[in-house]
Structure 1
Amino acid sequence: MSGTLTAGKGDVCHDVLVWLDPREPIAAQKARRSITWTQHLSMFAVCMIVTLSTGTASRAEPSQTPDEWTSATEQFLPTPTSLFDSPISTISHSDASVELQPAISGNETNTPASSANASTSPSSISLAMPAIPSSLSTDLRSDRFWLVNTRHLTCNTCRMNLNQPNFRIHRLDRCGRRLPSGLDDYLGSMDPTRPRIIYIHGNRRDAPTAISQGLFVYRQLVRHRPNDQPIDWVIWSWPSEADSLFLSDVREKAQRTNAQGLYLAWLLREHVVRSQPSGLIGFSFGGRVVSGGLHALAGGTLGRRTIGEPPITGANIDVGLLAPAVDSTWLSSNGYHRLATQNINRMVMLYNHRDIALKYFKFVAGNSKAKALGYVGPRCFAPRYDGTPLPIRARDCAQTVGNHHSEKRYYERTCYAGREMATLIDSVMRVD
């Protein structure tokens, strides 16, 4: 077809040729031109869509680290719940290194070595894997959480089974959800390269509150942790829920601490024989369980009962006590828990001379002269196993805690309980 190349008014040809024939009527030529233009424009749109989709695929950004791995509100990486799917999924930080095959770059595909690999069987080809996110690598070495429940066990020291107590042990996630576990998992996961801290709550705590309180204390500690050393955090849940009127209830719980001290001594012995670095933190009657457990570990008697195993001394366990409801004379050379210092490396103690509950400790003890260690502060302590004085860092928190017997106030006010207890994480791994 012959003719001249023209462009009508307002036409945008974009290099698309439209020929006009002077022998055809003008209306027919315009209609044909409109149809031709529409066809070319459609083809152009299709080409652009294909080009843009191809370019987008080639420029796709690598997947980013999921927000839930890096946006933890407590300034540390959460432990993924997938680590707790089964007891065998426990991951020790010493085994957390992951080696990946290097990715094959595009420049290497034309080399002779690449050609040789192409002729091998598919089963012998190592597929390239993307680099593991650094946050996930950190999570593989993150903190682990345990619950040791003794609420179902007898508190009668004459009836206790100390051959192998039937502890109910669970793994916990960071939200406090319990996952199945057991004593074998707990003992088998011990790692001499990471500290295991046992937290023991005070009186009038039911099972859910014990877990939430234990995780609260954990969060206060890790905010001040001196380094990125991963730890095992153990919540010791003992039968301390409110049962009766205050005074009779407190006296009953004071008696239960003897059995709890023996149970704790049994577990601490397993820690020691497996070279597990350990620390203990106790509040109120929890401090009484701590000192009783260390005393029984060294061969001491609680409620006319021992754990029935050869004594262990020099365990070098670091101890943190907050407002301990323990007689101020019990850790002396002639005290009821006199052997406890034989297994203590160092102690951090926060007390309050205005504590209204500990002020009347004498009614709990049945001795008009008895004073609580958490009320008067450290007095006379027996020496350590090597005869050296027990290193103690003590602070009276009366100005910030007031007359309250409140564990949270020690952490939330300027008594700096979180910072003080966090020092245990570092010192557990060394002996003073």
Structure 2
Amino acid sequence: MPTDFKNFRNSFFLICGVVVAASVSVAAESNGEDVFADIGSTHSASVHARSTVHAGSTVPASSADRLWLFNTRHISSDVCCADVDSPHFDVRALDVCGNTAASSMDEYLLTRPEGRRTVIYVHGNRIENNCDAIDRGLAVYRKILPFRDPVPLDWVVYSWPSEQVGILAKDARLKAERTDAQGLYLASVLRKHAEFATPTTLLGYSFGGRIVTGSLHALAGGSLGGRSLSGPPVMGMPIEAGLVAPAIASNWMNQNGYHQLATKNLQQLTLFYNQRDAVLKRYWLIDRVRGQLALGYSGPRSFAPRFDGSKLEVVSKDCAPFVGSQHVELDYYQAPCRAGRGMAELINADELSLLGM
């Protein structure tokens, strides 16, 4: 494996797992603050979409898989204060019911069988605590499991501080800022994966997608919020990424974008987007830059080349006919959108590539 392995502050409002009514008025759309107010009031009357997996329930799982929680809720998400090279993750082993046992990064890294794949799942906004993060992470795991090849893997739930803070506009801007530090933290994990030659797949929803692409950019030596990892950049890792309704600008992964180096460690990108998403439709309002689209709304546009100069392979699906105007993660995993099948195919294809097929 090769070892050559703008300060654009993130901003955006987004409610992961919140049903947003499509009836926000056209008149309100022309006024950014009014739209914030309308969506905020809609949120207060809506039902927070949550996984049905809870502690004590049974989650179908492969007995050979290992489940983990990586928690960063206790450490700073201020990118200026973040210890980006040695973040103190709270690492815990999970069982299929979502129960946890204390562990460590060393145990996670050193007890993995050689060549074993790791899938890291990153949730979106307004997942209030670790229990909710585990619930959601195991729900997505369960949606993917029936379509996976029977190859054991490690499944990591990456839990970041996404609990609601203040009113909608304040909350969303704060969470958008937090994704810079979180991208750097996740990049430090990926650097460990590079050292251990760990096959890796990254899955992210909404703001979680922003963390995923930010981590890939930082791993390759890019800066986030004016910070970068120390040491030489890592490029050429054949990472697969699956994004559902990602809350990043559609041009962030092109050759001049904020996450322009992300493709230097990407083998393939699978993207589920929605051109009717009522939240992502208003992505431009946070900076009031008309015409700026979210990747999770527009679908694939242009991407920078991969490490070897080749074109990034992108598999995409517009789930608007099936999901409608709502911004709800698990809707993408229902028929006929079937994100679970698509993510499993991403993982399966990666296993075949490891076998030289």
TM-score (norm 2): 0.80
Taking a change above 3 Å as real, the CA distance of residues 164 and 378 of structure 1, as seen in their structure-2 partners, is same
The answer to which structure, 1 or 2, has the higher relative contact order (CA under 8 A, 6+ apart) is 2
Aligned-partner SS, 2:309: coil
Taking a change above 3 Å as real, the CA distance of residues 365 and 205 of structure 1, as seen in their structure-2 partners, is farther
Q: Matched residues in 1 for 2:61 and 2:302: separation?
A: 40
Task: Report how far residue 194 of structure 1 moved.
Answer: 1.8
User: What is the CA deviation profile of residues 66-91 of structure 1, one whole-angstrom value per residue up to 9, with x for unaligned ones?
Assistant: xxxxxx987655x4xxxxxxxxxxxx
| Aligned mate of 2:338, from 416, 420, 427 | 416
Q: Does 1:143 align with 2:143?
A: no
| Aligned mate of 1:393, from 295, 315, 318 | 315
Q: Matched residues in 1 for 2:67 and 2:350: separation?
A: 17
Question: Is residue 242–residue 346 contact of structure 2 (8 Å, CA) maintained in 1?
Answer: yes
Determine which structure has more spread, i.e. the larger CA radius of gyration.
Answer: 1
Q: Letter of the aligned partner of 1:156 in structure 2?
A: D
Give 1:406's aligned residue. 328
Give 2:138's aligned residue. 215
Aligned-partner SS, 2:344: helix
Q: Does 1:376 align with 2:298?
A: yes
Q: Does 1:251 align with 2:173?
A: yes
Q: Matched residues in 2 for 1:276 and 1:173: separation?
A: 22
| Aligned mate of 2:157, from 235, 239, 249 | 235
User: What is the CA deviation profile of residues 221-248 of structure 1, one whole-angstrom value per residue up to 9, with x for unaligned ones?
Assistant: 11111x2101100000000011111122
Give 1:311's aligned residue. 233
1:225-304 to structure 2, matched below 5 A, reads 225=148, 227-304=149-226
Question: Is residue 191–residue 276 contact of structure 1 (8 Å, CA) maintained in 2?
Answer: no
User: What is the CA deviation profile of residues 355-409 of structure 1, one whole-angstrom value per residue up to 9, with x for unaligned ones?
Assistant: 0110111123442232100000000000100010000000000000000100010
Q: Matched residues in 2 for 1:292 and 1:193: separation?
A: 25
Question: Is residue 401–residue 413 contact of structure 1 (8 Å, CA) maintained in 2?
Answer: no
Aligned residues between the structures: 297
Q: Matched residues in 2 for 1:272 and 1:157: separation?
A: 23
Q: Does 1:345 align with 2:267?
A: yes
Task: Report how far residue 428 of structure 1 moved.
Answer: 2.9
Q: Matched residues in 2 for 1:180 and 1:298: separation?
A: 31
Structure with higher helix content: 1
Give 1:115's aligned residue. none
- 5+ residue gaps, structure 2: 1-56
Aligned-partner SS, 1:356: coil
Question: Is residue 75–residue 223 contact of structure 1 (8 Å, CA) maintained in 2?
Answer: no
Give 2:253's aligned residue. 331
Q: Matched residues in 1 for 2:284 and 2:224: separation?
A: 20
Q: Matched residues in 2 for 1:270 and 1:366: separation?
A: 39
Q: Matched residues in 2 for 1:73 and 1:175: separation?
A: 6
User: What is the CA deviation profile of residues 240-289 of structure 1, one whole-angstrom value per residue up to 9, with x for unaligned ones?
Assistant: 01111112211111110000000011110000110100000000000000
Give 2:93's aligned residue. 171
Q: Matched residues in 2 for 1:316 and 1:343: separation?
A: 6
Aligned-partner SS, 2:108: helix
Root-mean-square deviation (CA), in Å?
A: 1.6
Taking a change above 3 Å as real, the CA distance of residues 422 and 329 of structure 1, as seen in their structure-2 partners, is same
Aligned-partner SS, 2:69: strand
Taking a change above 3 Å as real, the CA distance of residues 73 and 244 of structure 1, as seen in their structure-2 partners, is closer
Q: Matched residues in 2 for 1:247 and 1:415: separation?
A: 30
Give 1:190's aligned residue. 112
Give 2:10's aligned residue. none
Q: Matched residues in 1 for 2:98 and 2:165: separation?
A: 24
| Aligned mate of 1:426, from 341, 348, 357 | 348
Taking a change above 3 Å as real, the CA distance of residues 209 and 76 of structure 1, as seen in their structure-2 partners, is closer
Q: Matched residues in 2 for 1:356 and 1:228: separation?
A: 38
Question: Is residue 192–residue 277 contact of structure 1 (8 Å, CA) maintained in 2?
Answer: no
Which ranges of 4 or more aligned residues in structure 1 deviate by more than 3 Å? 72-77
1:147-162 to structure 2, matched below 5 A, reads 147-162=69-84
Aligned-partner SS, 1:360: helix
Aligned-partner SS, 2:252: coil
Q: Matched residues in 1 for 2:327 and 2:85: separation?
A: 36
Question: Is residue 355–residue 375 contact of structure 1 (8 Å, CA) maintained in 2?
Answer: yes
Task: Report how far residue 326 of structure 1 moved.
Answer: 0.3
Q: Matched residues in 2 for 1:419 and 1:157: separation?
A: 35
Q: Letter of the aligned partner of 1:155 in structure 2?
A: S
Q: Letter of the aligned partner of 2:147 in structure 1?
A: H
User: What is the CA deviation profile of residues 298-330 of structure 1, one whole-angstrom value per residue up to 9, with x for unaligned ones?
Assistant: 000000000112100011100000000000010
